[in-house]
Chain A
Amino acid sequence: MDIAIQTTGLTKTLHGNEIISNLNMTVKKGEIYGLLGPNGAGKTTLMKMLLNLVKPTAGEIQILGETLTPSSFELLKRMGNIIEYPIFYEKLSAFDNLVLHCEYMGFYNQDAIRETIELVGLKNIDNKLVKEFSLGMKQRLGIGRAILTRPELLVLDEPINGLDPAGIKEMRNLFQMLTKQYGITLLISSHILGEIEQLADTIGIINKGQLIKEITMDKIREQNTEYIELVTPQQRKACFIIEELNISNYKVVDESTIRIYDSNVTQTAISKELILNDIEIDSINKKVKNLEEYFLDLVGEPSSTNIRKKGQQPVHYL
């Protein structure tokens, strides 16, 4: 399979700190690659390095078959990007900003601008200055600008920051359309794990400047075991009943929660037995370990479904 981005032994040291250390990443052509990592893990720096804004201290970057050198610039024509937050010439209108972008990219197709503005769901904004835009609108315009010239590779840093739920869904569809219809490769970073879960083909987890895991979503889904989670105020008594059902593979998570990993017993059988023994059940349901738990396990933070990452919607399993 063709490779879009490959880094080998990529390292960046700044003021004596290693921000990126010995990072080897492979992004295949035509896939959506989700880059995950806690704040300050080095995601943005990595993306800046791919765009040649930050020069590596050591290691090599290959993009679309070409090796990046400190003075490469031709390659940038084949890439679109949003870094950190979308930056515009605020005193100009959205349309003028896009015209300017086309001129600098050496892309001459005025129809594409209107088409793109519609594609990202911005309407009647032609003469409005970017200064007056909300963050969500700027984000949409930023995505529009990145995809305007239909580049082969998109590097998007937190592209769904500031978007409303409807906007997030629209952008998800847009990204999927771009990969399917145009074969564009996407490298996306986000805090919103649920979003990446739905979108990405492969994820890379980065922590303290190191890529600690690179894995396809299919594999994660395969690996993650199902279990039954039982919430009851009478946890001790419930454990006793469970033992009686000949289940030994279970875990008491906290004072009211029990996780049962045994796959031979059905949920119905357990609840029936519990009810027969007069045990109150607050909830009982089947769960698959999701990306969030997988991520937190790897990054080494306490894994709990109650912990919400910054900006994330609460997760409900009912």
Chain B
Amino acid sequence: MFNLIRLELKKESFKWYGIGTVIANLLILALIIPIQYVEKIETDEMFMIMGALIRAVFIIFGAVLLSKLIIDEYKNKTIFLMYTYPIQRKKLITAKLLLIGILTFITISISSALVAVGYFIIHNMFQISPDTIPAQRLIVEIVSMLKFAIAAAGASLIPLYFGLRKQSVPATLLSSILIVTVITQSNPWFSLADNIYISLVAATIGVFIAFWTIRNVDKVDAI
């Protein structure tokens, strides 16, 4: 399995993912500080906004990965080539989905930690709000964001269902944006973004879709 994941990394260039991650994190950081400054939001809520933004961005990145690694292989018919190799189809697809899930989880975790630390440093240096953030608080927030990262990695697989039906990249990306707007929505009365259960439900659906795809892959004709 490890070898199959290694080969996936060889087939597709992941440079854009690395560069995109750095740019996205800088933009998020650059965005949230003025938000707090202008809107006078409490630091509690700031961590939630940060986490939600990061998850939103990387679930969409995950959909791009799905498009490149799975949908495009179907569209370019290179998947037929893969299926004529002496490797179980289930394993091929599992390797791809594992790679996407793991990559999304790792990127969300690292990004959350980096952005939170960045925010922590800037906040305490320039006193953006009247509160002070103790270092302990920072660690608690990062751990909580990691929980959401696991859930987001699962949810990032949901677009696979919509993408595979028509083998369409737009459908994959669009469905990921819809998912993001649902699970990261927040307003003063009711908020899904800081509700771990909603995120876990989405993650379960994503994992279920992944299993369903893997289970079906042997039965389907590759035409």
* Interface positions of A (Cβ within 8 A of B): 14, 48, 51-55, 70-71, 73-77, 79, 81, 83, 87-92, 96, 100, 103-106
Are B221 and A54 within 8 A (Cβ)? yes
Total A-B residue contacts, Cβ distance less than 8 Å: 63
- Is residue B135 within 8 Å, beta carbon to beta carbon, of the partner chain? no
Contact of A105 with B86 at beta-carbon distance under 8 Å, contacts A91-B13, A92-B11, A100-B7 already known: yes
- B222/A53 in contact, CB under 8 A: yes
Contact B218 A88 (CB under 8 A): no
- A14, A90, A104: which contacts B87 (Cβ < 8 A)? A104
B207 to chain A, nearest CB (A): 23
What residues of A have a CB within 8 angstroms of the CB of B221 in the complex?
A: 14, 53-55
Please tell me if the beta carbons of B222 and A54 are within 8 angstroms of each other in the complex.
yes
Query: In the assembled complex, which residues on chain B have CB atoms less than 8 Å from the CB atom of A76?
Result: 84-86
Residue B137 interfacial (CB < 8 Å): no
Q: Which of B24-32, B75-83, B119-127, B168-176 contacts A (4 or more CB under 8 A)?
A: B75-83
User: Beyond A73-B85, A88-B81, A91-B13: 4 further Cβ-contacts under 8 Å?
Assistant: A14-B223, A48-B223, A73-B89, A92-B11
Where chain B touches its partner, the secondary structure class is loop
Interchain CB contact (< 8 A) of A51 among B7, B84, B89:
B84
Partner of A48, one of B13, B82, B219, B222: B222
Shortest beta-carbon distance from B6 to chain A in Å: 9
Interface flags, B67-98, vs A, CB<8A=1, else 0: 00000000011101111111111000000000
Question: Would you give the shortest CB distance from A127 to chain B, in whole angstroms?
Answer: 15
**CB of B10 within 8 Å of the partner chain:** yes
A89 and B80 form a contact (CB under 8 A):
no
Interface size on B, as a range, is 20 to 34
The 3 residue pairs across chains A and B that have the minimum distance between CB atoms? A77-B86, A104-B85, A53-B222
Among B76, B86, B88, B219, max chain A CB count under 10 A is at: B86
The prevalent SS among residues of A at the interface is loop
Complex contact A83–B80 (CB within 8 A): yes
Most buried by A among B7, B82, B222: B222
Known: A54-B222, A92-B11. A87 touches B76 (CB 8 A): yes
Alpha-carbon distance between A83 and B223 when the two chains are bound, in angstroms: 11
Residue of A nearest to B82 (CB): A104
A12 to chain B: closest residue by CB: B221
Are A54 and B223 within 8 A (Cβ)?
yes
Cross-chain contact B219 with A55 (CB below 8 angstroms):
yes
- Bound CA span A106–B10, Å: 16
Residue of A nearest to B83 (CB): A53
Pick 27 A–B contacts, CB within 8 A, sort by A.
A14-B221, A48-B222, A53-B221, A54-B221, A55-B221, A70-B218, A70-B219, A71-B218, A73-B85, A73-B87, A73-B88, A76-B84, A76-B85, A77-B86, A83-B80, A83-B84, A87-B77, A87-B80, A88-B78, A89-B11, A89-B78, A91-B13, A92-B11, A104-B7, A104-B85, A104-B87, A105-B85
The answer to whether B86 and A74 have CB atoms under 8 Å apart is: yes
Q: Which residues of B contact A14 (CB under 8 A)?
A: 221, 223
Which residue among B77, B84, B86, B87 has the maximum number of chain A CB atoms within 10 Å of its CB?
Answer: B84
Q: Min CB distance, B70 to chain A, in Å?
A: 14
Q: Which residues of B contact A90 (CB under 8 A)?
A: 76
Query: How far is B13's CA from A91's CA once the two chains are assembled, in angstroms?
Result: 9
Q: Which of A53, A70, A73, A96 contacts B86 (CB 8 A)?
A: A73
Chain B residues in 8 Å Cβ range of A73: 85-89
